[in-house]
């Protein structure tokens, strides 16, 4: 398979490229300097020249809080750039893969969110990703993959933040009233690869599996695996006072994805241990 990956150099793209190359795929990796995904004409011409079988849109706006004060930037990358790529894919017959987010949901559910459940994003970032999902449909054949609480090599993320703070402080104040599942970029990249290989299209959920956890619980596991001495003190979301509202419950139902790829997704604790053991 010939893959084109945008946003090369980013956290998810790094894992996607490693998995694809390990599988023996032919890969075209394009960083922002090589392709401005917000330039529709440039995207159309580059896709036509490269003729990939599938495009994985790793280029994305991910600064959740910043999006509240700069919504245009979020919509430009997560909605408009997705539409440009989807239309270009439609013209060459390529599958368009759009990684999306648990933040398209409002967090009021009492059971894991299924792919067909109604969306109701509570912040600008979530709305931009939902609009990007709608834009992806213009590809004709699109694969939307929602994930949650992403971390991995090559980017800023919660695991590294907790690791750094645990070395500097005796006590870490971490939110305990938001529930979800952490996801290692390697796990997500492998799941995307498997979905592509079986020809899946539509919307799928792909986080790591296992028992859902709060951010405070996630932090405790990071501290434990790092062998740090810091204590995690649970706090409420209201105490943190972040600009963007987060869903209180963003656990994704993985049953459809596991059925299609024919295997369970890895437990988040096992993935975290592998990441920390490194190097990645």
Q: Go through the domains of the chain in sequence order and give each one's CATH number.
A: 2-155+181-208+253-263 (3.40.50.720)
Instruction: Tell me what pLDDT residue 241 has.
Output: 87
Tokens of 169: 């402080």
Model confidence pLDDT, tens digit, residues 113-169: 999 999 999 999 999 999 999 999 999 999 999 999 999 999 899 999 999 999 999
Residues annotated catalytic, as ranges: 125
Res 115: pLDDT: 98
Identify whether the C-beta of residue 24 lies closer than 8 Å to the C-beta of residue 67: no
pLDDT value for 155: 87
Tell me if residue 16 falls in helix, strand or coil: helix
pLDDT (0 to 100) of residue 279: 77
Amino acid 15: pLDDT: 98
CA distance 193 to 265: 13
Q: In the chain, what is the straight-line distance between the N-terminal and C-terminal CA atoms, in Å?
A: 24
- Mapping DSSP to helix (H, G, I), strand (E, B) and coil, where does residue 39 land? coil
Tell me the CB-side half-sphere exposure of residue 200, using CA atoms within 13 A: 24
User: 54 in helix, strand or coil?
Assistant: strand
The CA distance from 233 to 129, in Å, is 32
Segments of the chain scoring below 70 in pLDDT: none
CA 139, 251, 65, 74: dihedral to nearest 10 degrees?
0
Looking at the whole model, is its pTM more than 0.75? yes
Strands (E), 92-178: 95-101, 142-147, 150-151, 171-175
Rounded-to-integer distance, Cα 176 and Cα 205, Å: 23
Give the pLDDT confidence of 164-183 residue by residue, as tens digits: 999 999 999 999 999 999 99
Q: How far apart are CA 170 and CA 179, in angstroms?
A: 24
């Amino acid at each position: 398979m010939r893959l084109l990956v945008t946003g090369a150099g980013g956290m998810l793209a790094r894992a996607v490229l490693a998995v694809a190359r390990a599988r023996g795929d032919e890969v075209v990796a394009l960083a922002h300097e090589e392709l401005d995904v917000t330039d529709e004409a440039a995207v159309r011409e580059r896709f036509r020249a490269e003729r990939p079988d599938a495009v994985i849109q790793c280029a994305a706006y991910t600064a959740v809080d910043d999006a509240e004060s700069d919504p245009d930037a979020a919509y430009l990358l997560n909605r408009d750039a997705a539409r440009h790529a989807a239309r270009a894919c439609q013209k060459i017959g390529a599958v368009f893969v759009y990684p999306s987010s648990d933040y398209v949901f409002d967090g009021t559910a009492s059971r894991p969110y299924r792919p067909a459940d109604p969306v109701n994003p509570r912040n600008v970032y979530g709305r931009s990703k939902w609009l990007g999902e709608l834009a992806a449909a213009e590809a004709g054949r699109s694969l939307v993959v929602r994930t949650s609480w992403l971390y991995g090599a090559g980017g800023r993320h919660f695991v590294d933040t907790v690791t750094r703070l645990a070395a500097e402080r005796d006590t870490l104040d971490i939110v305990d009233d938001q529930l979800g599942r952490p996801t290692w970029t390697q796990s997500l990249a492998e799941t995307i690869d498997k979905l592509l290989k079986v020809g899946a299209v539509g919307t799928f959920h792909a986080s790591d599996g296992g028992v859902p956890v709060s951010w405070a619980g996630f932090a405790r596991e990071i501290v434990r695996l790092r062998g740090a001495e810091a204590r995690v003190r649970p706090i409420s979301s209201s105490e943190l006072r972040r600009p963007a509202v987060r869903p209180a419950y963003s656990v994704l139902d993985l049953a459809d994805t596991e059925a299609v790829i024919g295997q369970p997704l890895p437990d988040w604790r096992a993935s975290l241990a592998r990441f920390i053991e490194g190097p990645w």
